[in-house]
Structure formats: C-alpha cells, structure tokens
Chain A
Amino acid sequence: MGTPATVRAWESHFTLYRTIWKSNMLGAFLQPLLYLVGMGLGVGALVDRGDNAENLLDGLTYFQFLAPGLLATTAMMVCTNEAMWPVMGGFKWMRGFHAQAASPLSPGEVAGGLALWHATKGLISVTGVAAVLALFAETRSFGLLLAVPFGALTGVAFAAPLTAWSATRESDNSFPAINRFIIMPLFLFGGAFYPISQLPNWMESIAKVTPLWHGVELCRGAVHGRLGVGEALVHIAVLVSLALVGWLAARITFARKLAA
C-alpha cells in the first residue's frame, strides 16, 4: 500500500508499453543509427571537405555537430506524438482517462500520470539515441549521461503544453497539422542540422525562442563538454518553464473534460 496516486496513474501507460516494448526499443535504436550513418557520414563527408571547414562548426566535424542534436529532436518527435493521439484515445476511444477518474484518482492525478509517462517515454527513446552515439568514437563521452536527461526534458517541454491542448479537442483532425506546421519546421530550422547563425536574422530570433533550439544546444554542449553553466541554466529554465506551464494547463483541461 501507499504508492503515490500519480505513479498509479502512470502504471497503466507503462503496462500498455510492456506489450510493445521489444519492437519499440529496436526502433528507438535502429532509427537514429540509420539516420546518423546516412546524414552524418554522407553529408558530413561533403561539409568537412569544404573550404574553411575547421572554422565552420567551431572545430567540430559535421558528424560531431549533427549527432547530439538527434537526442533532442527524437525526444520532440516521440513526445509530441504521445501527446496527441493517445490523449484522444484516453478521452474518446479507449476512454481510459474516464476509467481512472471513476476510481479514487483525481483529474489532476490522471494528467500527472500521463506527464510522468511522457518523461519516461522521452527517456527511453533518448537512451536509444545515446546508445547509438556511444558506438562512434566522435561522440562517445561521459557527457552523454548528462545529455540524456536534457533530451528527455526537451520532450516533456513539448508534450506538456500539447497534452493540455489535445485534451480540448473533440477529434484528431487537427493533429497532422501540428506535425506538419510546427514539428517539421522546428526540426528543419531548430539548429539540429546547421548553426542557426546561418539563418536570416529574423529567423534566427524566432529559432532562439523555440524549445527545440534550447534542447539541441544543451545536448550538443553536454556531449562535447562545452556547456557553460550560465547558458545551461538559461536553456534549462526555458524548458522547465514550458513543461511546468503545460502541466498546470493540462490539470485544468483534464478537469474540464473529466469532471463536467
């Protein structure tokens, strides 16, 4: 007896995951591996051979530059998807959130259990990427241990506000648009593939306020041991604020949906 309510709500998500963990973990490892071999080695060979290659990326090879960002982008992709369709399922399809709300769990605890699950899922997928990075000498470092929680935090910073919004939807019609118009642009312009200083000034300013850029900077800095404490704290503060605001908003939207 005596398991915290939020953890009890989390257990249901974890129980479901246990039925698919083998294929999921294999994917979490293979996907970044293919991506890194394709982009990192292929594109990297071109970039590193170019003029002035040493100064372009602050002395990093393209592979070294690209690979850590994958920790943040993977967490973003995995967690945003967990914050859309499964949320609709909990309210409308399988209706698991209603089942939880009929038990002693409160709507806030239902939302909390899901947030905790998003952190867990983020951690699992980022660990898969970190395992791949550890295979390559260019990215093998103890900084990976720090980059894993940074990556997971990036995922939660996306999942929490999105969960709160998803809970207000009546259908899943608008979810693909989130992927197309928010997640894809961030993926392309969030500093994962090239330094955002390459962008026009106005775009650079936008990129700097997106959570993905903060996550990418944290992970890259951690892996290569170049992270200043001050800048780290700023990045972390941005991501933690987003996660907190999202979580509080989700408590409200879940209560509206479950306790009408």
Chain B
Amino acid sequence: MPTDSNAPLITAEHLVKRFGDFVAVDGIDVEVPRGESFGFLGPNGAGKSSTMRMIGCVSPVTEGRLRIFGLDPATDGKQIRSRMGVVPQMDQLDEQLTVEDNMILYGRYFDIPRAECKRRAKELLEFVQLTDRAKSKIEPLSGGMKRRVTIARSLINEPELLLLDEPTTGLDPQARHVLWDRLYRLKQRGVTLVLTTHYMDEAEQLCDRLVVMDQGKIVAMGSPRELIEKHSPREVLELRYPAGTNDERASDLDGVGNRREVLPDRVLIYADDGEAALAEVHRRGSRPESALVRRSSLEDVFLRLTGRSLVD
C-alpha cells in the first residue's frame, strides 16, 4: 500500500488543453480522493474526453498542473499508465481473436507474464459474468458483452484508478444495469472510478461527486444531491397542452412556481411544492391534457446549466 493514502489520487490545477486556436479544456480545477467515484458531465464537445485523455497520460497537458498518484504525466506517464485502467469510448478489441486472447494480449502490454494473464483473465471474466464466452471470438458478441470484455480487460493490471469514457453509451437498459452493478462492486473493492457521461441517471447511480462541464469550463461541482438542491427547486410540474399551443397557454401561468420553461412538447414549472403549483394551474382555469409532478433530477440541473440547444 502507498504511504500517502490520504493524498488525492488526481489533482488538476488550472488545466488547459488547446488544439491550435481551439480551446478544448479551459482552466479546470479538480481533485479526486482515493476511493471516490467521480464524474465529468457535459454535452458533446464540453471537453470531457480531452480531460480524460490528459488524465490517461496519452494527451500532453497544454497548461496548468496535473498530478496522478502524485506523479507528473509529462515525466512519469509510463509509470502512471501502468497503475490505471482505461475503458475507451469505442471498444478497441481485436474482433478476430477470442475473448481470452484479447485479455492476455492486453495484459502483455503491461509485462504481466502470460500464465498470470491467463489466471487473471479467468477471474475477471467471472467477475463480468462472461466465463462461458472465454473461447468465443469477439465479433459475434452483443454490444453489452463487448463492453464487459473491455471493462474486464481494463482490470487486467489490477488498477488503482479506472477511467471510463461514456461506459454505457449505445447499450440497452438491461446491459446498462448489469454494467452499473459491476462498476459499483469495483468501487466497493476500493477502485477509484473516474467517468464521463451524458446520462443523468448514470451519474446519479455511480458518482459520489461530479462536475458539470460546458465549453471547456466547469460550471458546477458537487454530489448529485447537492447539485439538485442548489440549482433546481425540489419538484417539477410537467404540463402537456395540445401540440403547438404551449406558448400561448404558458402566459396564463405567470407567477406559478419559481421558474417556468416552455419546451416544444411540454411546459415545465419548477416549484418547491409541485402539487400546490398544479392546484394553482387548475384554479386559473387552465386545462392541460396531462399533468405530472416529479422530483427534480440531475437532468434538470444539467439542462439549466448547459442550455437546451442541441450540440452535435
């Protein structure tokens, strides 16, 4: 065990990444303690992946200070990379090889002896519930299974820190829940998780703490609960009116709740007491086609902070 177990695993101070004139990451400060599960949230192009590539010690830091395990990526990249696992956004498996061969081949990059790779592969495939697929080629596996192979493979060097770039993008709900369960178990074993996602449910499920990024900057930081409390009233009232009439109906609702947002398909009213807001809507004689009161979620925070415009 390292002696400095209380020191943060990752420290970033005023971290900047530029590609020519384009600023991908614009001076962020982040600290991740050992054992935490930490998330980067943001729309496409917010700078999440660039940040991850710097932490992964493949992309050089343009400006600022970055330390991982107390080491500098500029000089100790190899040593840092040997102690972490990386689950990339796109699977990088060799489709023509078997699941087991993919694991062994990857373990060899870390100079783990072949026999030991084999032993660990067996254990890890058990962990991701793919033991019966060890001798199968990658190509016929489902997306969720490939993802689990990638996660198992990233653990072959028994990493202290696991980086996951959009781990469940493109998977069906069942596959996502299986993955979340496995990641939660890793966290319980003391592995520090750092992930990017644009799924709010994923962030709420997995992250102890997270930052919301937009245009290369951090716009909010905290636990999912804290962020919701700070940036959104407790409840949301969702009203549906006949298509195309949201704008005119909404003007009847001035002063109801704390804040109102008109979407193409719904009118959202943020309020501390959703039921009371709904009673007020009815009292004013407004008759929506449907009305729903729900607790406000991280998604509301996210959309409020990063805007609703579509980012490609």
B37 to chain A, nearest CB (A): 20
Q: Which of B59, B78, B86, B105 has the most CB of A within 10 A?
A: B105
Partner of B111, one of A3, A19, A258: A3
Give the distance in Å from the alpha carbon of A9 to the alpha carbon of B111 in the complex.
10
Residues of A within 8 A of B79 (CB): 104
Q: Type the 1/0 row for A79-112, where 1 means its CB is closer than 8 Å to any CB of B.
A: 0000000000000001110111111111000000
Give the distance in Å from the alpha carbon of A259 to the alpha carbon of B50 in the complex.
11
B35 to chain A, nearest CB (A): 22
Given A2-B111, A260-B19: A104 and B81 interface contact (C-beta under 8 Å): yes
Does A12 reach chain B (CB closer than 8 Å)? yes
Partner of A102, one of B58, B93, B111: B58
A210 to chain B, nearest CB (A): 35
A257 to chain B, nearest CB (A): 11
| A260–B110 CB distance below 8 A | no
Give the distance in Å from the alpha carbon of A258 to the alpha carbon of B77 in the complex.
14
Q: Which residue of chain A has the shortest Cβ distance to B79 in the bound complex? A: A104
Does B108 reach chain A (CB closer than 8 Å)? yes
| B111–A1 CB distance below 8 A | yes
| B19–A103 CB distance below 8 A | no
| B109–A105 CB distance below 8 A | yes
| B58–A258 CB distance below 8 A | yes
Interface size class for chain A? 20 to 34
| B109–A104 CB distance below 8 A | yes
| B88–A102 CB distance below 8 A | yes
| B110–A259 CB distance below 8 A | no
Partner of A16, one of B58, B59, B77, B97: B97
| B58–A103 CB distance below 8 A | no
| B105–A12 CB distance below 8 A | yes
Give the distance in Å from the alpha carbon of A8 to the alpha carbon of B103 in the complex.
14
Residues of B within 8 A of A1 (CB): 111, 113
| B93–A100 CB distance below 8 A | no
Does B94 reach chain A (CB closer than 8 Å)? yes
Partner of B94, one of A11, A96, A98: A96
Q: Which residue of chain A has the shortest Cβ distance to B91 in the bound complex? A: A95
Residues of B within 8 A of A258 (CB): 58
Q: Which of A1, A95, A101, A104 has the most CB of B within 10 A?
A: A104
Partner of B56, one of A3, A11, A94, A102: A102
| A103–B88 CB distance below 8 A | no
| A94–B92 CB distance below 8 A | yes
| A19–B113 CB distance below 8 A | no
Q: Type the 1/0 row for B61-97, where 1 means its CB is closer than 8 Å to any CB of A.
A: 0000000000000000111011000101010111111
**Would you list 13 pairs from A and B whose C-beta atoms are within 8 A, ordered by A residue?**
A11-B105, A12-B105, A15-B97, A15-B104, A19-B96, A19-B97, A94-B92, A95-B88, A102-B86, A103-B106, A103-B110, A104-B111, A258-B58
